């Protein structure tokens, strides 16, 4: 049986929800000097919990169709970030529609790639 894209996206959404819930329970660091936070957003998954997200997705796909990849293994100028490869597209917690080029992932295109820039972009989209 071939998995449909909408079913794969449900797996991504479920993994996203599970990781956000774990972060809320355990807490996480954004800036050491600020201490532990308990208010995660998608940016936080992609900047510290991306491997957990990717492994959860990989384990949830019923067929061996996915692969966890590290950006810095493929793109020497990229930071360390774990993504999912599925059917010639790349996915992460922010990008459940997938992109054909790693360089098109939001974590690669957002300048600067900061929590504040992510939130600012969300606010501007909501204001439109």
pLDDT score of 6: 96
Range ranked top by mean pLDDT from 22-31, 64-73, 97-106: 97-106
Q: What is the pLDDT of residue 44?
A: 96
- At 63 the pLDDT is 79
Q: For residue 47, name the pLDDT band (cuts at 50, 70, 90).
A: very high
Whether 128 shows a pLDDT value over 60: the answer reads no
The yes-or-no verdict on residue 4 having pLDDT over 80 is yes
Query: pTM for this structure?
Result: 0.90
Please check whether residue 91 is in contact with residue 98, taking contact to mean a CB–CB distance below 8 angstroms: yes
DSSP string covering the chain, please? -PPPHHHHHHHHHHHHHHHHHHHHHH-EESSGGG-EE----HHHHHTTSHHHHHHHHHHHSSSTTEEEEEHHHH-TTS-S-EEEEETTEEE-SS-SS-BSSGGGSHHHHSSS--HHHHHHHHHHHHH-
Q: What is the pLDDT of residues 101-123, one digit of tens each?
A: 999 999 999 989 999 999 998 88
pLDDT of residue 32: 77
- The pLDDT value recorded for residue 65 is 87
């Amino acid at each position: 049986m071939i998995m449909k894209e909408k079913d794969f996206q449900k797996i991504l959404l479920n993994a996203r929800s599970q990781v956000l819930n774990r972060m809320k329970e355990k807490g996480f660091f954004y800036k050491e000097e600020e201490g532990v936070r308990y208010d995660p957003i998608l940016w936080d998954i992609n900047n510290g919990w991306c491997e957990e997200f990717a492994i959860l997705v990989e384990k949830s796909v019923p067929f061996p169709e996915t692969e966890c990849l590290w950006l810095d293994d493929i793109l020497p100028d990229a930071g360390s970030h774990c993504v999912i490869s599925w059917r010639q597209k790349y996915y992460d917690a922010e990008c459940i529609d997938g992109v054909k080029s790693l360089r098109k992932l939001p974590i690669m295109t957002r300048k600067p790639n900061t929590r504040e820039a992510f939130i600012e972009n969300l606010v501007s989209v909501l204001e439109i």
